[in-house]
Amino acid sequence: MPKNISLTRYLVEQQRIDGHIPPELRLLIEVVARACKGISQAVNKGALGDVMGTAGSENVQGEIQKKLDIIANEVLIEANEWGGHLAAMASEEMDSIYVVPNRYPQGEYLLMFDPLDGSSNIDVNVSIGTIFSVLKKAEGNHGVEESDFLQAGSSQVAAGYCVYGPQTTLVLTVGDGVAMFTLDREQGSFLLIEENVKIPDNTQEFAINMSNMRHWDEPVKRYIDECLQGKEGPRGKDFNMRWIASMVADVHRILCRGGVFLYPWDKREPEKAGKLRLMYEANPMSWLIEQAGGAATNGKQRILDLQPTKLHERVSVILGSKNEVERVTAYHSGL
Ligand code: AHM
Ligand code: MG
């Protein structure tokens, strides 16, 4: 792989090769990446930049907002609202959609994001990230409404995340495989570190919050119980466990070396389909995982086929190495 390929060069070349990326979409991705650089700066400063701690407010899901949740949300909105490529944005941290103000031209894309995923890790210096997903507004001259966003994940035209860890790394798909770019702070640009990321079909590593075990449904209990039995159990091999409590960091590990991630529905709040959000977390991550050869389901259906009914919809998530995801999914249908 040639050295020093910037995100800009990668996108321009992709645009030339197969026309996968129209110019407005390229601009959109570059603007999101620039916003992520700004968020990365703020994350890096930590207490020195007065960005730690809670903001004293709650989001629409009743979760306490951290200062960085709000800062990251503002950075993404300010970076994206004026470019003319977007019609509207939606965020995990905002009650309703944010329509591009009249003073700016409106484009045809819709951007969704979880501005700062893994909020519980902000104050303890553990990896966190930004997740984003891009859809196209249905054709026609109508204004933009929440219903425009309610498209299945299979309609995404771009998706990715930026993980703020020991390195700041942007991971992207436009439907033609997965590419990773690490921020070179001296050059100030994201440089390609890997193309055609592939997840092995098999794994011996699972990620789940074990403290919720007593609340899980039978198929999830059975799957984890079999993993825990290791060599002596029906799987005939030992499993390792990781749980970072930042989906971006857990998914990043899976894209790098395989694994399976589960945040299933559980009995704590049975009326909710899960903890994670379909539009801001599950859809973009599921597409990345599938593009890298993995699988993603809610236990019963492919996540990317789910028809959303509301913006902040939640979903049960099982994703990662294909054979493990298929196994958990099969257990849900009683196999
Ligand atoms: P957030 O978007 O409010 O940060 O919540 C989502 C996060 C995921 O990143 C992570 O997988 C999960 O919540 C951790 O939840 P828990 O603390 O229940 O283990
Ligand atoms: Mg999140």
Which residue ranges make up each domain of the chain? 7-195, 205-332
Q: Which residue's CA is minimally distant from atom 17 of ligand 1?
A: 245
Half-sphere exposure in the Cβ direction for 215 (13 Å, CA): 14
Tens digit of each residue's pLDDT (9 = 90 or more) over 123-166: 999 999 999 999 999 887 678 999 999 999 999 999 999 999 99
Of 83, 73, 153, whose CA–CA distance to 115 is shortest?
73
Of 7, 6, 23, 24, whose CA–CA distance to 15 is shortest?
23
Centroid of ligand 1 to alpha carbon of 182 (angstroms): 24
Largest distance between two CA atoms of the chain: 66
| Helix, strand or coil, per DSSP, at residue 230 | helix
Q: Which amino acid is at 234?
A: P
Tens digit of each residue's pLDDT (9 = 90 or more) over 252-306: 999 999 999 999 999 999 999 999 999 999 999 999 999 999 999 999 999 999 9
Q: Which residue's CA is minimally distant from atom 3 of ligand 1?
A: 119
| Tokens (6 digits) for 279 | 């539009």
Tens digit of each residue's pLDDT (9 = 90 or more) over 29-61: 999 999 999 999 999 999 998 888 887 777 777
The per-residue pLDDT for 2 is: 66
Confidence band for 313, pLDDT divided at 50, 70 and 90? very high
Half-sphere exposure in the Cβ direction for 230 (13 Å, CA): 5
Q: Percentage of residues in the chain with pLDDT exceeding 70?
A: 99
Q: Whats the size of the chain, residue-wise?
A: 335
H or E stretch including 11?
A: helix 7-18
Please tell me the pTM assigned to this model.
Answer: 0.96
Q: Which residue's CA is minimally distant from atom 12 of ligand 1?
A: 245
The answer to whether residue 7 scores a pLDDT higher than 70 is yes
- 163 forms beta bridges with 129, 169
In this structure, how many other beta carbons lie within 10 angstroms of the beta carbon of residue 4? 10
Question: Is 205-332 CATH 3.40.190.80?
Answer: yes
Q: How far, rounded to the nearest angstrom, does the alpha carbon of residue 179 sit from its chain's CA centroid?
A: 14
The per-residue pLDDT for 128 is: 98
Mean pLDDT score of the chain: 95
Centroid of ligand 1 to alpha carbon of 209 (angstroms): 10
Centroid of ligand 1 to alpha carbon of 306 (angstroms): 21
Tens digit of each residue's pLDDT (9 = 90 or more) over 91-115: 999 999 999 999 999 999 999 999 9
Superfamily of domain 7-195: Fructose-1,6-Bisphosphatase, subunit A, domain 1 (3.30.540.10)
In this structure, how many other beta carbons lie within 10 angstroms of the beta carbon of residue 74? 15
The per-residue pLDDT for 333 is: 92
The per-residue pLDDT for 3 is: 76
Centroid of ligand 2 to alpha carbon of 107 (angstroms): 26
- 97 contacts 149 by C-beta, under 8 angstroms: yes
Q: CATH topology of 7-195 equal to that of 205-332?
A: no
Query: What residues are in contact with ligand 1 under a 6 Å CB criterion?
Result: 63, 92, 114, 117-120, 209, 245-247, 263, 275
- 172 forms beta bridges with 160, 179
